[in-house]
Amino acid sequence: MDILLQTLAFIITILVLVSIHEAGHFIVAKLLGVKVIRYSIGFGKAIFRYRGKSGTEYIIGFIPLGGYVKLLDEREVVVPQSELHAAFNRQPLWARALIVLAGPFTNFLFAVLAFWLMFMIGIKVLRPITGEIVPNSIAAQAGLQSNELITKVDGHITPSLQKVVIRIIERLGETSTLSIQTRSVNQYTDHLLNLHNWSVNALNPDPLQSLGIVPPRPFIPAIIDTVEELGPAATVGLKAGDKILAFNNKPIKDWYQLLTLIQQNPGEKVTLTFEREGKIATMPIVVGHKLGLRFKKVGYLGVKAKIPAIPENLLTIRKYSPGVSFKIALSETWEYLLFNVIIIKKMILGQISLNTLGGPIAIFQTADLAFQQGVSIFLGFLGLISIMLGFINLLPIPGLDGGHLLNYLIELIIRRPLSIQYEIISVRVGFIILLTIMVIATFNDLLRLFAS
């Protein structure tokens, strides 16, 4: 059932965002009098096909990982004399550019709509509270204290913990100082964090904890909720409901501590003290292992805890009137667009590793999580991915919308159309670039999957 729900969330995400993007190309092409031969969502064998009165063929492909709009073009087919006026290649430069720009622009419009609805419905977000401060960490050296409210990062207001994380991510790879303003009671304090020795895990970056800020989290008792079949815990007879009291005679205060100790001892024979039905017992167990990040062994027992709901005092609701929601939606869309620009720039400069890239598996997992959290969260997720899709398509890579726009700019400069040979070669180069990026992103996904 879980895999069906995950697949459904992923398909809905891809269908909605690709449909929106291709609809932009389609609508503007129609408005400018260009004939649309095919509007396709997905690739491969058609599972749905319909031909409209205008002659346009509407298709849903078997592989839902993209889409395209095929326009009448003399460079691809022989165009009858009576339809030359409707051929894409016969359109003036400005018209072709508008048709190409319409796809990404529609993605940005959709993001505004999604965020607008999200803020009108209301969304629960984590309050930007510091939680614990790791001793001798960058945050501790800057004077941050536990359980303070973070009000600003680098001068930007942070209404949620997510906003704090985003502002910190924007500084990845830098060695200067980061400004964080906190509020305790009614006193505001400005802190300057020295980033000179800042180190972040490239594959699974955790900006807050890398600075020594551990966000507040609900208390989870060290009580087993489920036991994995054939796992180390099941092999020695541990059961759901068992409360772990000690690990190698070290008292256990909560599930987080137990998890840390398990992960730190792969392959080791340890002693567990636990309580079952009021009786205390001790047993030896060999900690199993799985391959984590960089294929490093990570200990595991094959047990899970029951995750409690996040306490209401750690949450705040962002819900506004239609007018205010629309204004915030515009601001959010612009901020996330700039965020993508910053991240790409840092990747090009080598300040952020390509290991941070996520691929289809990451989208699959995140879509499922967002889908299960309700309408508001899923709308926000769709808005974020839509901005990312629009931005990526604007990159000057041959084959993408940005690559076409780059060609039009060259055409404007040299005052003549580019040769067919150049376009064929550039598309092949673009395909190789995109394939390389996809392979890297998917490989990163698989590493994260193994680590989980």
Residues 259/267, Cβ–Cβ less than 8 Å: no
Helix (H, G, I), strand (E, B) or coil at 246: strand
How far are the Cα atoms of 42, 145, 166, 177, 357 from residue 191, in angstroms, in the given order? 50, 11, 18, 10, 31
Closest CA to 243 of 198, 278, 215, 210: 278
Phi, psi of 308 (to 5 degrees): -75, 165
- The string of DSSP codes covering 58-85 is EEEEEEEEEEEEEE--TTTSPPPGGGGG
The amino acid occupying position 367 is: A
d(CA 123, CA 120): 9
Using alpha carbons, select from 259, 169, 147 the residue that is nearest to residue 213: 147
Residues annotated as catalytic are 22
Task: Count the residues in the chain.
Answer: 452
Q: How many CA atoms lie within 13 A of 278 on its CB side?
A: 0
Helix, strand, coil share of the chain (percent; to 5): 50, 25, 30
**Could you write out the three-class secondary structure of 390-452?**
HHHHCCCCCCCHHHHHHHHHHHHHHCCCCCHHHHHHHHHHHHHHHHHHHHHHHHHHHHHHHHC
Q: In the chain, how many H helices and how many E strands?
A: 12, 18
Spatial distance between the Cα atoms of 168 and 57, rounded to a whole number of angstroms: 47
DSSP lists the bridge partners of residue 246 as 251, 273
Residues 52, 381: Cα–Cα separation, whole Å: 33
Amino acid at site 371: F
> What does 145-208 look like in DSSP terms, one character per residue?
-TT-EEEEETTEE-SSHHHHHHHHHTTTT--SEEEEEEEETTEEEEEEEE-TT----SSS--HH
